[in-house]
């Protein structure tokens, strides 16, 4: 996925949660834009900590833009 296209999705206002599908069929859900950091050709996505509000993360996932196959919107009630 092109970096600029991903940035447009991340900066939508109002923000709409989305799911990333990777080239190895992993699904990564993003419910808060504060949980995503873009650095060069990579992104870091925080996996929400169930005990704390965002942007607290229990772990971090690193993805290259070349590994993102698609971005799909999530239902407004998800998460």
Per-residue model confidence as pLDDT tens digits over 35-75: 999 999 999 999 999 999 878 999 999 999 999 999 999 97
The enclosing H or E element of 9 equals: helix 3-10
Tell me if residue 63 falls in helix, strand or coil. Answer: strand
Distance CA 48, CA 56 (A): 6
pLDDT at position 53: 86
Per-residue model confidence as pLDDT tens digits over 8-45: 999 999 999 999 999 999 999 999 999 999 999 999 99
Q: What domains are there in the chain, each with its CATH number? A: 3-73 (2.30.30)
Say what percent of the chain tops pLDDT 70: 95
Report the predicted TM-score, pTM, of the whole model to 2 decimal places. 0.85
């Amino acid at each position: 996925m092109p970096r600029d296209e991903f940035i447009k999705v991340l900066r939508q206002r109002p923000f709409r949660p989305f799911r990333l599908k990777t080239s190895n069929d992993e699904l990564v859900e993003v419910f808060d834009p504060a949980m995503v950091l873009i650095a060069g050709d990579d992104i870091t996505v925080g996996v929400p900590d169930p005990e704390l509000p965002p942007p607290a993360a229990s772990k971090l996932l690193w993805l290259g833009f070349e590994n993102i196959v698609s971005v799909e919107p999530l239902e407004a009630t998800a998460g």
